[in-house]
Structure 1
């Protein structure tokens, strides 16, 4: 195996045609240095991709990325989308998409769940709000692990699927008394469901959903209205969770 630079494809590993007992095991295949990375299979020069990656890491807006990197809007969007796909893969591999379960002492972890609409007033007036519904959950632990996912509807079957996908068995799930939460079938996945009736107070016997409800404003501040589309929201939520997880690692 040798390493070198080729005008047609940049830096690559190349097999020289290994033979074993007279049998050729490799036909001189070439493997790009950037294989299985954000830089793979793109016409964008690596140095431009590095620039966009840096500006993304420090939270630069899309328009400013275009100006600072000298790349087109299409290129910047493509690189950022590739980055977001890698974030999803990282969260999946680290099992950070599922929260709750049992703590180190074997006690059930409380997960507060709520839903909120991300959108804006139609024509900036009136009560009609166009946007995307998001269901979120947060642990009542020091880590405050969180999940966020977009949904088309907020009915019982959808909420049951969301909880079974994102909340680990053994958890205690707390919600408000929104009608769709009534009678959720969670016992078969070993999850206890507790509710709080806001009309009777926000903290009944220590049961509340203040943690998740207090998180929505901060999340929305990070996601301006122009990013709240059905296409972009799932990826923007992935990015939010990943950045939140690595908050202490992204200081520049």
Structure 2
């Protein structure tokens, strides 16, 4: 049964949908019932469920002759101010329609958003590779944000951990910020970490390894020579006192596995339309997919909602 949007002070309940069971057919069905679709987006906190006008009065969601089909309108007859239902959400400022964006979230989640096929599923993207790239970068930023906010301690006796570093660019308030990120991944447990490096030097590298990689671990990295040039005392201390084993990735020392390893993600297309994006993006997405494999759609929606609280 379709649920109508409540234009009064309280919204109706959104349709009960098990995100773990959503497929393209059920998603299209939901999108075709726009009232239920908007209620659903409000329930998962991708759209605001209420707004207050600058005059202090509560706003109501009203039908409108625009692409979003609805707008917020002030309940004060002397004001009648309007506000986009996208305000403050991940949809705000996007050239894509709300329904196309949700379809893209689904397609990216289940690795169906390649340049070759995305235009067939979302007509608006058939010749807009720039939008495709921007959204794919955004999703990888969501993945990276999770690991930066929730770093894990990994490794231990007899374990191998692969690490890598990358210079990451991030735009905030029209300012381009750059910072180094160190990533680590343990194939055996499919767990990893991403942390910002305050400075790119040997002391910082070893401090972060000691903080996020347990003693007794074989640490595999292809950039040791650059750090050895700054001195080997710190490496010798961790090797002798904490039983760390430092191995050059290029020697082929990484553990073999029938499954894809973190090292192999470097062969991934970093972003075929943005070749200058750093490898850490791919690593973040890879670790994210490993960690949340059973609840990908639920997780990406909740994490986007956390980034854009409405």
The match for 2:153 is 100
The match for 1:47 is 99
Maintained 8 Å contact 2:270/2:279: no
Q: Tell me: higher relative CO, structure 1 or 2? Use CA pairs within 8 A at least 6 residues apart.
A: 2
The match for 2:109 is 57
Residues 10-63 of structure 1: CA distance to partner in whole angstroms, max 9, x if unpaired?
A: 333344359xxxxxxxx7665533344432211211222223222212212223
Matched length: 201
The match for 1:167 is 212
Specify which of 61, 64, 71 is matched with residue 12 of structure 1. Answer: 71
Task: Tell me if 1:194 matches 2:254.
Answer: no
Task: Write 1 or 2 for the structure with the bigger share of strand.
Answer: 1
Gaps of 5+ in 2: 1-58, 167-179, 298-310
Residues 34, 87 of structure 1: alpha-carbon distance in 2 compared, 3 angstrom cutoff: farther
The match for 2:269 is 224
Residues 240, 114 of structure 1: alpha-carbon distance in 2 compared, 3 angstrom cutoff: closer
Residues 36, 173 of structure 1: alpha-carbon distance in 2 compared, 3 angstrom cutoff: farther
Query: Take 1:99 and 1:91, find their aligned partners in 2: how far apart are those partners?
Result: 8
Task: Tell me if 1:183 matches 2:244.
Answer: no
Q: TM-score, length-normalised on structure 1?
A: 0.56
Maintained 8 Å contact 1:53/1:80: no
Maintained 8 Å contact 2:161/2:184: yes
Maintained 8 Å contact 1:87/1:238: yes
Residues 139, 31 of structure 1: alpha-carbon distance in 2 compared, 3 angstrom cutoff: farther
Q: TM-score, length-normalised on structure 2?
A: 0.47
The match for 2:119 is 66
Query: Take 1:241 and 1:198, find their aligned partners in 2: how far apart are those partners?
Result: 22
Maintained 8 Å contact 1:34/1:40: yes
